[in-house]
């Protein structure tokens, strides 16, 4: 059961920017690590772009699932996990994390924070802390506030895109992905094994 990444993003008027992120790349092979990180960052930006404020979604993509929550103040959180990681725990810690972020980093500064530049250590702390949900579970089982909240499920990232939008095009146009990662994506797509965890 694995928590691969936690990302905190701001859904601004024109674009989505990553304020802070933390990654655990231990499950990825040596040569895949940097591409895996880039793809997770890219994916988290796309899913936040496609999530309305106030909503929660879970998107499956091959071996991993992205759980995303965008608050009504446009602060967004993404947790990228494997299919064993309990979604309820992911959404619960995301609530806590975003509250903590909002307390420590004034909202007025969010639009101007450079990419990944927020002065906040909570993301990597939570990534370590919540890697094993059974340790965190004593706390989360008591939290009923999530129970009535609806989570929209998506079988693929593509189902979140607009009509006519293609994931291939978004990958090609993206600044977040290196040319190496884009080439990797094309090859992996042919062999139907994009970002498979070895």
Partner 1 sequence: MSSKSPETYVHKRWIVRHAFTKQAEGNVDNRIVDTDEQTQTALDTEMEGSRVAASGYPSNYNAWSHRIWTVKALARCSAEVLESELENTKSWVRQHVSDHSGLQYRQFLLSEHRQKCLLEEHLLKEFQFLDDLLISYPGHEALWNHRRALYHLAVQSQEGLGHQTEELSTENASVKSSLTGLEDPIEPLGAGSLVEENKSHTGEGEGVRLTSINEMVNPLLEKKRALAILEETSTSDSKIQERHYKLYIQWLDRFKT
Pick 151 or 170: Cβ nearer partner 1: 151
Tell whether residue 186 is a contact of partner 1 (CB under 8 A).
Answer: no
Q: CA-CA distance, 42 to 178, in Å (whole number)?
A: 11
Q: Does 25 bind partner 1 (CB under 8 A)?
A: no
Take residue 79 and report the two structure tokens written for it: 């947790």
Give Cα separations from 74 to 12, 48, 107, 195 (angstroms): 7, 9, 10, 29
Q: Does 179 bind partner 1 (CB under 8 A)?
A: no
Q: How far apart are CA 141 and CA 89, in angstroms?
A: 9
Kindly state whether residue 141 participates in binding partner 1, applying the rule CB under 8 A. yes
d(CA 26, CA 145): 33
Which of 25, 151, 176, 188 is close enough to bind partner 1 by CB under 8 A? 151
**SS3 call for 152:** strand
Q: Which stretch binds partner 1 (CB under 8 A): 13-21, 87-95, 98-106, 164-172?
A: 87-95
Q: Contacting partner 1 (CB under 8 A), which of 11, 126, 133, 184?
A: 133
List the one residue from 87, 95, 102, 116 that touches partner 1 (CB under 8 A): 87
**# chain residues binding partner 1, by CB under 8 A:** 19
CA 144 to chain centre: 23
**Of 33 and 88, which CB lies nearer to partner 1 in the complex structure?**
88
Identify any residues that bridge with 139 across adjacent strands, giving them in sequence order: none
Applying CB under 8 A, does 146 fall inside the site for partner 1?
Answer: yes
Query: How do strand 16-23 and strand 3-11 relate by DSSP bridges?
Result: antiparallel
Pick from 131, 157, 16: nearest CA to 76: 16
The answer to the question of residue 86 lying near partner 1 (CB under 8 A) is: yes
Q: Which residues bind partner 1 (CB under 8 A)?
A: 1, 83-84, 86-88, 91, 132-134, 137, 141, 144, 146-149, 151, 198
């Amino acid at each position: 059961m694995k928590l691969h990444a936690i990302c905190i993003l701001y859904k601004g008027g024109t674009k989505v920017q990553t304020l802070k992120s933390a990654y655990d790349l231990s499950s990825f092979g040596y040569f895949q690590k940097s591409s895996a990180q880039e793809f997770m960052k890219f994916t988290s930006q796309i899913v936040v772009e496609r999530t309305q404020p106030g909503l929660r979604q879970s998107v499956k993509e091959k071996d991993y699932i992205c759980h995303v929550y965008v608050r009504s103040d446009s602060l967004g959180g993404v947790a990228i996990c494997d299919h064993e990681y309990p979604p309820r725990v992911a959404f619960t810690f995301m609530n806590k994390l975003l509250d903590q972020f909002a307390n420590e980093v004034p909202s007025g500064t969010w639009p101007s924070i450079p990419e990944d530049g927020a002065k906040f250590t909570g993301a990597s702390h939570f990534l370590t802390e919540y890697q094993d949900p059974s340790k965190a579970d004593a706390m989360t089982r008591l939290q009923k506030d999530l129970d009535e909240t609806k989570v929209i499920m998506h079988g693929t990232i593509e189902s979140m895109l607009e009509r006519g939008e293609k994931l291939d095009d978004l990958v090609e146009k993206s600044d977040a992905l290196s040319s190496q990662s884009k080439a990797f994506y094309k090859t992996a797509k042919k062999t139907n094994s994009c970002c498979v965890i070895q």
